[in-house]
């Protein structure tokens, strides 16, 4: 009897029950975000295996950030709703008091409020974890850039070394051309003048006969000495 008088109690009870169901789904959604963070952390740890890992990590962190922002806003709306919902007073009649005691609306409201406080703590932890992920991804990006700069410096150093080697080879080639041109010029003169040498002259013969022709191995040592002197001069010139 007089069920219309008990309708505010049932409406308040249903509000808190619906909020309790919403909080449970909210809590499950927090687990999904936590799993996404773990996946992102695993991606960061294996970033060296994938050249495109930086872009993927940033996309994953951006998606998690958007979800956390929405979840934080929803949590604030839920807390505000809990503060504004009115709990009807206990009815004076016996049936209303029995229904009020059986529904335990104040206890249900207290449970929902405690769960919302717990969710705020979880949300703060998720925000801190997100900051750690951002810092870690920044470290990965800086490490990738540092390695890239090191590779550029190493390649540049190699190019400079190759350039110096090419310059030395060019100088050596130029010197060899001068030496070969001199040998060619002397060979041409030998073809023109025949077998004539300075040894055939009177003023040189007095030195050649006793020192070179009559002394064993002297001509060989003279050739080796001349070769050594000429090679030393060319090497010194190249340096």
Dihedral sign, Cα of residue 34, residue 37, residue 43, residue 46 = negative
For the full predicted model, state whether its pTM sits above 0.75.
no
pLDDT of residue 181: 81
Q: Choose among 140, 154, 143, 82: nearest CA to 111.
A: 82
Q: Output the six-digit token pair for 22.
A: 């919403």
**Cα separation, 63 vs 56, whole angstroms:** 11
Q: What band does 107 get if pLDDT is binned at 50, 70 and 90?
A: confident
Task: Give the tens place of pLDDT for each residue, 184-220.
Answer: 777 777 777 666 676 677 777 777 777 777 778 877 8
């Amino acid at each position: 009897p007089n069920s219309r008088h008990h309708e505010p109690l049932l409406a308040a009870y249903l509000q808190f029950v619906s909020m309790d169901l919403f909080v449970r789904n909210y809590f499950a959604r927090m687990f999904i975000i936590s799993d996404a963070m773990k996946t992102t952390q695993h991606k960061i740890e294996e970033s060296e295996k994938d050249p495109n890992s930086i872009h993927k990590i940033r996309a994953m962190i951006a998606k998690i950030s958007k979800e956390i922002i929405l979840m934080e806003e929803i949590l604030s709306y839920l807390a505000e709703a809990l503060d504004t919902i009115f709990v009807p007073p206990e009815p004076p009649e016996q049936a209303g008091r029995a229904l009020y005691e059986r529904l335990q609306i104040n206890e249900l409201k207290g449970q929902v409020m405690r769960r919302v406080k717990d969710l705020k703590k979880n949300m703060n932890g998720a925000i801190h974890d997100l900051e750690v992920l951002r810092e870690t991804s920044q470290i990965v990006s800086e490490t990738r850039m540092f390695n890239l700069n090191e590779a550029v410096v190493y390649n540049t150093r190699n190019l400079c070394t190759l350039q110096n080697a090419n310059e030395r080879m060019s100088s050596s080639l130029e010197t060899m051309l001068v030496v070969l041109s001199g040998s060619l010029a002397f060979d041409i003169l030998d073809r023109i003048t025949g077998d004539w040498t300075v040894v055939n002259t009177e003023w040189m013969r007095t030195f050649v006969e006793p020192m070179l022709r009559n002394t064993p191995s002297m001509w060989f040592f003279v050739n080796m000495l001349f070769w050594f002197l000429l090679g030393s001069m060319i090497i010194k010139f190249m340096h």
